[in-house]
Structure 1
Amino acid sequence: MVSIAKEEAIQYGVESVELPGVLVSILGEVPDETLEFLLKQGLRTLAEMTPEEFMKFKGIGKEKAVRLAAAFELARRLARLMPENKPKITSPENAAALVMEEMRYLDREHFFAILLNTKNQVIARETISIGTLNFSVVHPRELFKAAIRRSADGIILVHNHPSGDPTPSRGDTEVTKRLIEVGNVIGINVLDHLVIGDNKFVSLKTKGLL
């Protein structure tokens, strides 16, 4: 697999290599179960691991562990050198534009939070919950834990309707009002709630439902 990944990188560019190939290009040959476990962790978790933690996996010795940790450290240093790209939210339209293509085709309800700083610039987009075909459970604890962790000043709630119809339900309105109340208590403003349909959306604030 290592030689195949290297050939793909040379012929088509490193960006064309799938994640398993990228990992083995850095590590060299490792047992399949080790590679599978690393992939299950996700990049964010791997980026936070130490060489000592990598060495606990079968087939990863000191050299490979340091090599992998160093690759993530290079990525972090590059990120610090690059200018921050924090889009500013000035209307429901540009907030919806951030998530429309990602959310419009989802076949289950997903509840996202767009987290903003004091200048209404986007800090992050967090997935708060994933529900069934037509129901997403939102716990205030999970929402505000994410906001506090990111030091957010404001939140725009976003969820999709898999039916493609963004008409807010009574439950959507009730949940939003409850989250606004919790936000007021802890000092984080819930600014709006967008319901995403198929290339269309509804702002509960614009509709006067909040």
Structure 2
Amino acid sequence: MTEAKTMKELPEYDRPYEKCVHLGPQALTDPELLAVVLRTGTRGSTSVEMAEEVLNLSRDREGLLGLHQLSLTQLQSIKGIGKVKAVQLKCIGELSKRIARKSAKRGLSLNHPQTIADYYMEQLRHEEQEQLFCMMLDTKNHLLGEEMIFKGTVNSSLVSPREIFLSAVSYHAVGILLIHNHPSGDPSPSEADLDFTQRIKDAGELIGIPLLDHIIIGDCKYLSFCQEGIF
């Protein structure tokens, strides 16, 4: 990177805004894209250098993925980023998740685990805690609704079948799908996952609202209990 400390000292083709105008946003690096959002740097640091600090702030997941993990307080720890810029960066992260979710919804088919995983992937793969969702289906496998049942550690002692099936009954569902995430990024089921899923499957058969699948979301990976033949 050039030693210039203000954008005006940079050649025009190196200034993110001008570069975007002439070449399009796809020509910008990740720091340059964020620099356009940040607009201005601070004394002794360009907006691109400030953006690089943001991208390096998350220890576990450096880069753009880190935006989803960073709090307003963490963002404001960077010199030159106040509350307004911190909020803008958080909104960029949330906007990207919603765009991805809207796009995935177009191809959502409740008969195909891949499309269900795609639908939840951007929403869940960045979460630091496990979240359990229940999708309620009608007789034609159309989605009646979805609810987050639990946030924390998904296991048989903390999530009871009663909570799940009360939601299913309220939607007049004839079948359910469960989705939860593994913050580790590895979607392999734990013993607690297996035990919990079996309890829900047994309860569903007894009540007459079968569990059709349980999908675990990892980091750009997923596991379907149905596809894997686990039940």
TM-score scaled to structure 2, two decimals? 0.51
Q: Over residues 132-183 of structure 1, what are the superposed CA-to-partner deviations in whole Å (9 max), with x where a residue is unaligned?
A: 5x86832111100000001111111111001111011121111111101101
- 1:142 maps to what in 2? 163
Equivalent in 133, 153, 175 of residue 154 of structure 1: 175
The answer to whether 1:169 aligns with 2:228 is no
Equivalent in 168, 182, 202 of residue 223 of structure 2: 202
C-alpha distance in 2, partners of 1:98/1:153?
21
Q: Which amino acid aligns with 1:140?
A: P
- Choose 1 or 2 for highest CA Rg: 2
C-alpha distance in 2, partners of 1:179/1:186?
10
The answer to whether 1:131 aligns with 2:157 is no
TM-score scaled to structure 1, two decimals? 0.56
Cα contact 1:173–1:204 (8 A) shared by 2: no
C-alpha distance in 1, partners of 2:140/2:167?
19
C-alpha distance in 1, partners of 2:118/2:139?
21
C-alpha distance in 2, partners of 1:155/1:170?
21
Percent identical among aligned pairs is: 42
Unaligned runs of 5+ in 1: 1-84
Larger displacement relative to structure 2 (167-176 or 139-148): 167-176
C-alpha distance in 2, partners of 1:97/1:151?
26
Q: Over residues 11-61 of structure 1, what are the superposed CA-to-partner deviations in whole Å (9 max), with x where a residue is unaligned?
A: xxxxxxxxxxxxxxxxxxxxxxxxxxxxxxxxxxxxxxxxxxxxxxxxxxx
Paired residues for 1:100-119 under 5 Å: 100-119=121-140
Paired residues for 1:6-25 under 5 Å: none
Q: Size of the alignment, in residue pairs? A: 125
SS of the aligned residue for 2:223 comes to: strand
C-alpha distance in 2, partners of 1:138/1:171?
11
The answer to whether 1:94 aligns with 2:115 is yes
Q: Moved runs in structure 1, 4+ residues, more than 4 A?
A: none
SS of the aligned residue for 2:148 comes to: strand
Higher relative contact order (CA 8 A, sep 6+): 1
The CA RMSD measured in Å over matched residues stands at: 2.0
Cα contact 1:183–1:190 (8 A) shared by 2: yes
SS of the aligned residue for 2:228 comes to: coil
Q: How far 1:192 sits from its partner (Å)?
A: 0.6
Q: Which amino acid aligns with 1:117?
A: D
Q: Over residues 100-157 of structure 1, what are the superposed CA-to-partner deviations in whole Å (9 max), with x where a residue is unaligned?
A: 111111100111111111111111111111115x868321111000000011111111
C-alpha distance in 1, partners of 2:141/2:155?
29
The answer to whether 1:178 aligns with 2:199 is yes
Unaligned runs of 5+ in 2: 1-105
